[in-house]
Every structure is written in C-alpha cells, then in structure tokens.
Chain A
Amino acid sequence: MEVFSDKLDVFWNGFLGTVQMCLLAAVGALILGALVAVLRISPIPPLRAVGTAYVTVFRNVPLTVVMFFAAFALPLLGSDASFLKIPGLRDVIKPLGTDLPYFRFATIALTLYTTAFVCEALRSGIGAVPLGQAEAARSLGLSFTQNLRHVVLPQAWKLAIVPLGSVIIAMVKNSALAAAFGVIVTLMGVVDELVSQQYYDAVPVFLGVAVGFLILTIPLGLLLDMVERSQKKVATR
C-alpha cells in the first residue's frame, strides 16, 4: 500500500489527464451530437442520410477500433491533429499542445464515438416533445431552424438530460481505453507506469484507479438523480 504515499502525484496527474480528456470529449460530443441529431431530423433527405450513416458507423464499431484508426490512420494521412493545439485552450489543457499527438488522437476518437450516442439520446428527447408543439410553431410561421431553436430543442434537452448523463458516464469509463494507445497521463495510464515499469503490486494500483473513476462518475450519477427528481416534481405540479 506504500504506493499511495510514494506515488500519489502519479495518481493525481493521471486523474487530471482523464478529467481533461473527458471535459474536451464531453463538450465536443454534445456539440457534434446536437448537429448530427439536427441532420437526422432535417427535412432534406441527403442530410438525413449523412446523419444516419454517421450514427450507424460510430455506434456499431468498437471504441478500440475507432481509437486504432485515430492513432494509426491519422498519421498515415499526414495529420498529427495539430488543429487541436488551440491557443489559450492548450495553455489550460497542457496535453493538447504536446509534440506527442496521442492525447489528441484519443480525444478525437472518444469524441467521435460518443457523438453517435449523444445524437441518439437527443433524438429520443426530440421524439418525446409532443407533435403539437412543433405544429403550433409552424402555424405561427416559424422556420424549421427557428422551430428547433426556440420550441423543440429547449424542451428536448430537458427530456434527454437523463439519457445524456448516462452517455457521459459511459464516456468517462470508455476514456480508460486511451492508455492502450499511448496516452500515459490518464488514470488507466497509471497502471502502465507503476505496475509495468516500476513493478508495484497491481491490486492496490487498480484500486486507486477505480477510486479515481468513482470520484468522477458517482457525483455525475447523483446529479442525474437530482435532475430526474426535480423533473418529476414539475410533471406532477
């Protein structure tokens, strides 16, 4: 157990790495997921087809494979994803700006993968908004985009927030896979550094990693329960 007193900084850095990757991927997936959801309900058939194709591919391919393509196919295409070295953001989230591209690759893969699930959660929310709401908006002369922006999406977000939360929790756990693709400074990367390279006992290290994930996921779950309860209260008012 001396690993915790000796190497707490390694755990801490790994924890921070995971938090950073998850924040980036969550924001990215929520934005892209909303866009893909809008494509999927668009009145223009080719746009709908693009949205459906996206979801079909990324929902049905294992994350490991998506990460593989990000880590090995992007370099083949000559990209080290340096477009993610966003000035300002890379000063706050240091791994974005490093020469080694693996953090950026894994973040891209996690974002693209999670986008498909965010899209479907949002679409279920959109489907749960009564049809009459959109009809009333159309009958006032609102355009498709105005209808989405002012009437349908504000209600769909609320209905989708619980399924969206589950998607984000799954995403946090999925981020563990990044360690297998060269991203050392994450929670799961701690195992590589302490067990494989420094020969600490595996069990306490994995326990530490588990606690790290629980610190992230349990509060998220509690937050969702709270949201759900407050929604029930509104519904029965």
Chain B
Amino acid sequence: MTDALITLDAVNKWFGKLHVLRDVNLSVAAGEVVVVIGPSGSGKSTLCRSINRLETIDSGTITFDGRPLPAEGRALARLRADVGMVFQSFNLFAHKTILDNVTLGPTKVRRQSTADARAYGMELLERVGIADQAGKHPAQLSGGQQQRAAIARALAMRPKAMLFDEPTSALDPEMVGEVLEVMTGLAKGGMTMIVVTHEMGFARHAADRVVFMADGQIVEQAPPAEFFAQPRTERARDFLGKVLSH
C-alpha cells in the first residue's frame, strides 16, 4: 500500500525477557479508523504508544507520512505534533485551566498567537460539549469531561492522525457514551484513527477495520462485520466469547 499514512514493518519489542511485540506488520491508510482489541497484556497499548515513540522499539521500522520515525530531538517533536494522543488516564495538565491545556501546544509548538489559539480552542471545546468548563481546572471536571478536554487538546494541534490508548477504560460506565460519541464524530469526519479499546460496540459501528492482538502478535484483522460474525481463529472466537457473553 503506497497511500498508507502509518506503516509498521516487522516491529519487535521486548520488556526485559518479555517479548511484547512480535513481528508486527500493520498499515493504516489516511482516513482509516482501525480499532485494536485483544486480551490485556497482548501488546496493544505498547503498539499504540510506539507509533509516536513514547515506547521505543527494538527492531523493525515504523513509518509515518512517508518518513521513518526520527530518533530524538526536534524532528521527533515535529512528528509528535502531527500525531494526537489520548491516554487512558487523560493526563490533562493539572496546574492549567481546560482552555490553557488546549492552547499550550498550539502556542508553544505551532507558534500560533494566543488569540488564534484561544479562538480555535473554544471552538473545539464547543465541539466536544464542554465550552462552559473552559476556565476550570481538570480536577473540577468529571472523568468524561476530562477525557473530552484531552481529545480537544490533541485536536488543537490539527493532527494528521489520532491515537487512542484505552480512552474509556478509566471512566465510570455512565460517562463512556459521551466520550465514544465524540470519537464517533471524529471517525465520521474522516480522521485517521488507531483506537485501542475494549468497547466492542464502538468497534462494530465506527471501525473500518478491527485488528485482534494476542501475545504480542496480530492474530487476525478484518472489517468489523466480518470479524464479529465469523472470527477465523480460535483465539479470536475465545476472546469474543468471553467479552460478548455478558
């Protein structure tokens, strides 16, 4: 695939003796929404984090937008500016207001004027439904509101792709919906997304492709309708049996 935005080629990673990524090959086209599922410890979070080099890999190559990931320094910072990241534990800057969280990247990294950054920041907060919280600090918001703010913060950089590392796993059940709604909106809007999640409903209706991982390997991948109707491998059938039966 030549039009791939993100390509992983024979990627391996070890945590000490633990082989967390085994010869992983994955290609994500611009505008594609890929949902990564699998049992815990399968390496899906590591995969997600390695794409903007929050985790380093031991062998193989990762290419973003036609260029291999830079090692360190300014080139890596530029790449990260183009890749939005949403964390399980939100990681909003605790000492800054919601709006200041959203404008920090654009003003310091993109060198936008404060006025421009604030205007676009408010527009994004409006879009994720928390414009009225702009002046508050993260600790004053609910988990769902914080995660929506974190999505707005990532979007403020006008990224070419977004990575979601279990974005709803730390949320109370009643707040999962509001975050998934924002993510579904993004997916429909044509954003390139890699989403690590346990939300099978989201995978079903928002994904272009489901990637199933186990033991550091990609076991199978298919469009969601196909994957959920007829998983080809025993591992996937077993996993789906466990998560869908209740």
Which residues of A approach B to under 8 Å, CB–CB?
Answer: 43, 130, 132-133, 135-143, 146, 150-151, 154-155, 158, 237
Kindly list 8 other residue pairs between chains A and B, CB separation below 8 angstroms, not including A43-B72, A138-B80: A132-B87, A136-B85, A137-B93, A138-B54, A140-B104, A140-B105, A141-B109, A143-B77
Decide: B109 and A140 in contact? CB cutoff 8 A.
yes
Q: How far is the CB of A171 from chain B (nearest CB, A)?
A: 27
Q: How far is the CB of B8 from chain A (nearest CB, A)?
A: 18
Which residues of B approach A to under 8 Å, CB–CB?
Answer: 52, 54, 72, 74, 77-85, 87, 89, 91-95, 104-105, 108-109, 139-140, 150, 153-154, 157
Interface of A is mostly: helix
Decide: B93 and A139 in contact? CB cutoff 8 A.
no
Decide: B91 and A142 in contact? CB cutoff 8 A.
no
Partner of A151, one of B54, B82, B93: B93
Decide: B85 and A139 in contact? CB cutoff 8 A.
yes
CA–CA, A136 to B138, complex, Å?
14
With A139-B54, A141-B105, A142-B109: A133-B153 Cβ-Cβ less than 8 Å: no
Partner of A141, one of B54, B78, B92, B94: B78
With A140-B157, A141-B78: A132-B139 Cβ-Cβ less than 8 Å: no
Closest to A237 in B: B139
Decide: B94 and A140 in contact? CB cutoff 8 A.
no
Decide: A132 and B89 in contact? CB cutoff 8 A.
yes
Decide: A146 and B108 in contact? CB cutoff 8 A.
yes
Chain B residues contacting A154 (CB-CB under 8 Å) are: 95
Decide: B77 and A133 in contact? CB cutoff 8 A.
no
Partner of B83, one of A130, A139, A146: A139
